[in-house]
Structure 1
Amino acid sequence: MQNNRAERTSTRCRAVFGKLLWLVIASLFAVNGIVAASVKGISTNAVHSSRKALVLGRGLPLKDPNGGPTHPEGAKDNFLKLMGNLKNDPRKGWTCDLSWDLMKKLGMNPETTSFEELFRYIGTHRLGYRIVMQNMAAGQSMAFWGAAVDNGMMPFAPHYNNTHVRYNDPVGLKAAVAVGGGTTVNYYSHGESLELYDALPKSFSGGQFEDAAESWANQAVAAKFARILDAHSEYNIWDAREHLRQAGSRFAQGWSEAEGFGRVNESTVVTNLFPGAPVGFWGAKSPDNRKVKFTWRNFLQSDFAATVIARKNGQIIYEARH
């Protein structure tokens, strides 16, 4: 009789322990975002891929005035073609969505929802987007890009337009990667905020030429960024951005207003990432001219420790993580 009671007690203990173990495992999954919170339009138990890109704008059934695809639709198609996934199949690699379509899928009103709100939603619910593109003139100067990087997405956009002019942008390199257009040199706009230049491969024009229009060049850089992330699972988005720079054709000579860091060569071997300087760096004098207020966005590589501001003599006047 005692043996039977002991056996029943042991069985109950194992059952209780088993339930507790599953609760602990479920809790760990939830903490790590594997069990998602309720998201409108998206399965609450889905594991979201981190190989997703987004283009800001609207596509089909809307068309360009000339009857062709809208600019955003064209950018989406370019990215998918560059990634070898024209059917946008998540089982075959990187996918790409338009912001208009994604907002509708999430139950948002695309006509009233701001991009900042969309970016925060993507970050909060860990939807897996790591690249966001915009292909309108001077797109890199938009104020909402800070919300994109804060929520895990690296932005790519035209530096200015398809004219060989200097775009006066005193803030310099900012949250978005500003992309010019060119093949061996930068053909189009240049200035303080130019980071890289590029062009679509000849295959996009039937082997005739590399299309360097700034509207399309940023997708070429974004695709290289995606492949860098694929090849370096340890990278965060800032690591991959620094890798892009160090693989640039002008990195050894140094950044310039005319060419930025150059055109990214994917065959360049990058073994050690240098620390990236803050972006969006800006200084303004106080009304009494006695102080200077500095603002910036930290370049948050995975080994980032702090931002340091020092005088020319090496004296540190500021050092902090935030």
Structure 2
Amino acid sequence: MMRKNLLITGGAGFIGGNFVQYMLKHYPEYTIYNVDVLSYAGDLLKHSHLEESDNYHFIKADIADREKMMALFSEFCFDYVVHFAAESHVDRSIVDPEVFVRTNVLGTQVLLDASKKYGVSKFVHVSTDEVYGEMELNSTELFHENTPLQPNSPYSASKASSDLLVRSYHETFGMPVVITRCSNNYGPYQYTEKLIPLVITKALNDEKIPVYGDGKNVRDWLHVYDHCSALDVVLHSGQVGEVYNIGGNNERTNLEVVRNILSSLGKSEELITYVDDRLGHDKRYAIDPSKIEKLGWKPRFDFDTGIVETIKWYQENEMWCKKIVFSG
């Protein structure tokens, strides 16, 4: 079987890192190139067992470095690109929007230019449901692929901008691109500033757990393993020029998530402390994944099962958490 060269950007991060391992497990005939700048949220500990693999290569580089990216594309002749690399924490985007624009917008444009120049066969751009804005809590509507983009934070605005750039390169240059928009991910190796690992690690240490506002903001939770399998389907079967929403059909309020974790760990809800709400905090996200389901994909994890396995993973990998927090 002919070998394929696959570039995964942001493969030292949470979702990208899980996708690196997924692809190596399911496609040993592929050679994986992981390009990551190793920001605070990236780590290579998760890939330490891959260091001797002939079909895995890590390259430390900034996707917004045009000269470096062009050189990499020229040298390795990538067949496919799956683009995860992004600044993604909303709170940080409120404090410093500029770094989000540089990485998420300029970095994406550099990758598109390199992919166009060197004839990449498919460019999968991994985005977020946050580009759609918010829905009212009492609404029964879901985000569809044709829902208008109405981002409400500098983070989601930068991702919406990159989505539009990717679309424009297909419409203008005929580039073979696909855009995916996922709901909130959870699972192994997630940096501990995000809600679920934050709650787990604080609860394990009997520390106070901050909850924004009244905790009633709703998110659709998607296990990262289900996200990886969906991206596999999109990479190999997704139609060029299309957008695919990826959701887990697991809507929960933030407070429900926190209480679920505390209950699973046998911890008191007295650990919960309510803090001032985040600026521009969207009320509800909810994904309709029916389009990608027509390609044969279905999520495997329901939230109650997935969260138990995730809690167990963090309990068994406390040293990883401590090392990542210390290094970050």
Length-normalised TM-score, structure 2:
0.32
Length-normalised TM-score, structure 1:
0.32
Higher RCO structure, 1 or 2 (CA under 8 Å, sep 6+) = 2
